[in-house]
Amino acid sequence: MQRARVDASSVMLEIPESMPITEDSLAWQGLRALRDLGVRLALDDYGTGSASLSRLRQSAVDVIKLDRSFVRNLSTARDRTLVRAVIDLATDLDIDLIADGVQDQPTRTTLLDLGCRHGQGLLFAPALPRGDAVAWSERAEADQLAASSS
């Protein structure tokens, strides 16, 4: 990070929920060391593994990325209740939550109504090659700076 002149707080490392590592493993100790440097750790694909709740016991988790399978269909009360429960759990544990797979405005609106403030998906931007992603990010940053100065 020093060589690339990247601030550690701008880096988020995503660990799939299904990855079989325990909090006392050497791998997790390495992840905690990165977190101590300022890197944020995200539990990706949350809700798809068999250890969803036990993973949240790992104190180094900063972010839950709710799997797109939960976001894809919020049309039933049962689905909305499950998503709201995860949002409430993340809030109570002081863990940020990102809904993955937000494809359209109605889904975004429903997630906002449920209390989810962060999302990722095609509604916001498509997957981009590195060069295009850098250009997109620079444009977004310039737009944000212009908006804040006016």
**Residue scoring higher pLDDT (51 or 103):** 103
Percent of the chain residues past pLDDT 90, beyond the cut: 41
CB atoms within 10 A of CB 106: 11
Q: How many CB atoms lie within 10 A of CB 99?
A: 29
Q: Please tell me the predicted confidence (pLDDT) of residue 51.
A: 58
Kindly give, in sequence order, each residue whose CB lies less than 8 Å from that of residue 138, ignoring residues fewer than 6 positions away.
none
pLDDT higher than threshold 70 for residue 52: no
CATH classification of 8-125 is 3.90.70.10, yes or no? no
CA distance 5 to 75: 44
Instruction: Say how far apart CA 63 and CA 24 lie, in whole Å.
Output: 20
Burial (CB < 10 A; 0-12, 13-18, 19+), residue 92, is exposed
The type of residue at 34 is: L
Helix (H, G, I), strand (E, B) or coil at 13: strand
- At 70-129, the pLDDT tens digits run 998 898 899 999 999 999 999 999 999 999 999 999 999 999 999 999 999 999 888 888
DSSP 76: S
What's the mean per-residue pLDDT of the chain? Answer: 87
30 or 116: which carries more pLDDT confidence? 116
At 50, is the pLDDT very low, low, confident or very high (cuts 50, 70, 90)?
A: low
Give me the residues paired with residue 130 across strands.
none
- The answer to whether residue 31 scores a pLDDT higher than 90 is no
